[in-house]
Amino acid sequence: MIDPDTSENEPVTIVKPHENAVPALFDSPHSGSNYPEDFNADLDHKTLRRAEDAFVDELFSAAPDFGATLIAARFPRAYIDPNRSDLDINPNSFEGWKEHAEPSEKSRFGKGLIWTHLDGDTPLYNRKLSASEVQARIKSYWAPYHASLAETYNALFNQFGQIYHINCHSMRAKGNAFDPDGKAERPDFVISDHEGMSCSGEFINLVATNLSNAGFNVAINDPYKGAELTRRYSDPESGRHSLQIEINRRLYMNEITIERSAEFENLYGHLTNLAKTVCAFAANS
């Protein structure tokens, strides 16, 4: 846990820089494991936890030691996903939804703003959630996360005139039929910038080179291009740089038992070095 004293009732944790701030921001929107009482999913807790990007916040927990800010969600992504637009809703999936919606392909597979299926194929509920339940989740969880990220992002940009943001995730070692890469074995890391739209080439190359030099297999924009949190706040032409990083879970955990593996500390060391490199780059850009 990046902050063991955080109340389970708080939707977001913000860890301020431990030394002089630099224009670097790391966020982990999918590592939350505090399950709201009204989740009421029709799956056991261990199965639900397989949707988490478990321990990703811990893997980047050293970033504030080098001047970065670290933000993490405390709620689970299967409850509501902060890396989706608040309009990414399939009205047919919820009871009584009458508001404007802009469902994406993710919503069609039950992985939009509110997940209805685990990994696209296993139903989470034995009923349709109501519109009021969806709206309550947006107000109490999605909105506070985005408010925290936007406020921090803008404050750093206003202070320094630029910002370098890494949106941190993990991915299953192998996808399924509902994933863009199907059942392919995945690389160690996938780095994404919406095909050059969300950050400078210099920034994404810095991250990719750091990981490649550490001996990892790194792919860029394949199969992931980036999602809401890198798209929504970035504008590289004005100095707002955001990229997404996906870490293969086989590098640090058991995907079935949701436990850290013996390799966790080794990967933590590599990602601490990455955070240090990014912070130095941000400070001197």
Instruction: Quote the CA–CA distance of 242 and 73 in Å, as a whole number.
Output: 18
pTM above 0.85, yes or no: yes
pLDDT the model gives residue 19: 87
**Size (the chain), residues:** 285
> What pLDDT, on the 0 to 100 scale, is given for residue 180?
83
* 113 is a domain residue: yes
pLDDT of residue 6: 47
Indicate whether 96 belongs to any domain: yes
Question: 78: domain range?
Answer: 12-284
CA-nearest of 66, 262, 55, 76 to 168 is: 55
Asked, for residue 1, whether it belongs to a domain, the answer is: no
pLDDT at 4: 39
Residue located via tokens 């301020």:
16
Structure tokens belonging to residue 173: 């070692």
Residue linked to tokens 């996808």: 175
| Mean pLDDT (10-residue bins), the chain, 285 residues | 54 96 98 96 94 98 98 98 98 96 93 92 95 98 98 98 98 87 91 98 98 98 97 98 98 96 98 98 97
How many domains, in total, are found in the chain?
A: 1
Residue 8 confidence (pLDDT) = 56
* Number of Cβ within a 10 Å radius of residue 257: 11
Q: Where are the beta strands (DSSP E) in the chain?
A: 12-15, 24-28, 69-73, 117-118, 122-123, 163-171, 189-192, 218-220, 240-248, 253-254, 259-260
Classify residue 2: in a domain, yes or no.
Answer: no
pLDDT for the residue 18: 95
In a domain, 167, yes or no: yes
The tokens describing 200, both together, are 């400078």
Residue 33: predicted pLDDT: 97
Give pLDDT, residue 97. Answer: 96
Maximum C-alpha span of the chain: 53
- Over the range 2-38, which residues count as b (16 or more CB within 10 Å of their CB) and which as e? beeebeeeebbbbbebeeebbbbbbbbbbbbbebbee
d(CA 45, CA 139): 24
The answer to whether position 4 is within a domain reads no
CATH number, domain at 158?
3.40.630.40
Residue 253 half-sphere exposure toward CB, CA atoms < 13 A:
23
Answer yes or no: is 7 within a domain.
Answer: no
Domain assignment present for 61 = yes
Residue of 158, 239, 159 lying closest to 198 (CA atoms): 239
Q: How far apart are CA 156 and CA 283, in angstroms?
A: 12
